[in-house]
Structure 1
Amino acid sequence: MAEALNLAIIVVALLALFFLLKGRPKAPPLPVRPDAGSYTPVPEGAPVLHWADGGAQFDVEVLGESRYRDTIRRLAGEHGDGKADARHTALLLPDDANPYEDKAVAVFVSGEMVGYLAPKEALALRLRLARQEIAGQLTSCDAAIRGGNLWEGKRLAYAVLLDLDLKG
C-alpha cells in the first residue's frame, strides 16, 4: 500500500511539473537585426577638423576589421613578404543610426569603411567633439595600416591604427 501511495505521489508530481513547464509563458522573440552586411553609414561633406597631435603614436586600433579585410588588404598596398606600414587619412563619422551601438563612430579610409572605434574610444571622441562644439560632425586623423607580413607561408592579419589622442 505504501508503495502504491509513493508511486501515485511521484506520478502526480511529474504531471504537475510537466503542465507547469508546458504552460509557462513563452519568451518574446529576439528582435531581428539587419544582416551583418546590410548597414553601412555614408560620410557626407568634408571633415570639419583634422585631429593632429604631431606625435604619430597610432595607438587607437579600429575594431571589426575582419569584415573589411579585402578592402584593408588592398589599402595596405604591395609590401612583399614584410609587414605593411601604409599611411592614409581616416574619416571619423559619429554613426547615430547604427542599429548595434548607439554611440558608434565609423572609420573610413580612402572613402571605404574599415571598421569602428571601440565603444570606450567612440565615447571619448564624442565627448571631445562636444567640447569643441562640433558634436556629430565628420572629422579626420592620420591612419596607418600595419601587419600582413608572411609567416610560415601565410599572410598575417592587418590592423588599422589611428593617430588619435583621446586622453585630452
Structure 2
Amino acid sequence: MIYLFAIVIVIGLLYYVFSGRTRVEPLQKALISVRQYVPAIPATAPAHHWSDNGRYASEVENDSIYQPAIARLAGEHGPGNADEKCLALLVCDDANPFQDKAIAVFIDSQLVGYLAHSDALRLRRTLGRQDLVGQLTSCDAVIRGGGLWNGKRLAYAVWLDLQPFD
C-alpha cells in the first residue's frame, strides 16, 4: 500500500514539474533563422591584409547551408578537387546571436562561414594590439574539395592564409 502511495506521489510531482514547461520550437524553424542571419559587410576598404606566406593553414568553419555559395565560388572544376584562390574579407560580427565575438568570412560578398571560436578570439586580440578593433580586414583564401566520389560531389572547404596567432 505504501508503494502505491509513493508511486502516485512521484507521478504527481512529475506532472507538476513538466506540465508548466514551454513548448520547444521545431528544429526546422531554428535552422531557418540561422539561414536568415547574415552580418553586413562594412562599406570601407580593408584596413589590413593578413598573410602567412601562402600556407593556408586556417580552415573556415562552414555548415551545409554555406556549401551552395562555396560551390558557386569554386567554379567548374570537373571531377577533381577545386583549388580556387580568392580574396576573403574578415568581418567582426558583434551582433551575431549565435556566437560571441564571431568573425564572419566573406568571399565575393557571399558568407562562406566563420572562423573557429578560438581563432576568432585570438584574431580579435591581435586586432586590439594593432589598433584595428572592429575594422574590416582581408586575407587570401583558397577553396578546396568538391571532387566527385561515387557519383556525388564531396564538400568544399575554405582555407585562409592567416598569419599564426600569438
Output the TM-score relative to the length of structure 1.
0.86
Q: Are 1:19 and 2:12 matched, yes or no?
A: yes
Q: Are 1:144 and 2:142 matched, yes or no?
A: yes
Which amino acid in structure 2 is aligned with residue 165 of structure 1? Q
Q: CA RMSD in A?
A: 2.0
Matched residue SS, 1:24: helix
In the TM superposition, what whole-angstrom CA distance separates every residue of 1:80-132 from its partner, at most 9, and x where no partner exists? 12211101000000100000101110000011110101101111111110110
Q: Are 1:46 and 2:68 matched, yes or no?
A: no
Matched residue SS, 1:81: coil
- Asked if the contact 2:123/2:165 (under 8 Å) is kept, the reply is no
Q: Which deviates the most, 129-138 or 150-159?
A: 150-159
Aligned to 1:94: 92
Q: Provide structure 1 residue ranges, at least 5 long, that are not aligned to the other structure.
A: 1-7
TM-fit CA distance, 1:30: 6.6
Aligned to 1:4: none
1:14-163 equivalences in 2 (<5 Å):
14-24=7-17, 26-27=20-21, 35-44=33-42, 45-53=44-52, 55-163=53-161
Matched residue SS, 1:16: helix
- Asked if the contact 1:121/1:166 (under 8 Å) is kept, the reply is no
- Asked if the contact 1:125/1:166 (under 8 Å) is kept, the reply is no
Alpha-carbon spacing, 1:28–1:132, altered in 2? closer, same or farther (3 Å): farther
Identity of aligned residues (%): 48
TM-fit CA distance, 1:65: 4.1
Alpha-carbon spacing, 1:65–1:23, altered in 2? closer, same or farther (3 Å): closer
Matched residue SS, 1:75: helix
Computing the radius of gyration over CA atoms, which structure comes out larger, 1 or 2? 1
C-alpha distance in 2 between matches for 1:47 and 1:15: 67
Paired residue total: 160
Matched residue SS, 2:85: strand
C-alpha distance in 2 between matches for 1:154 and 1:28: 42
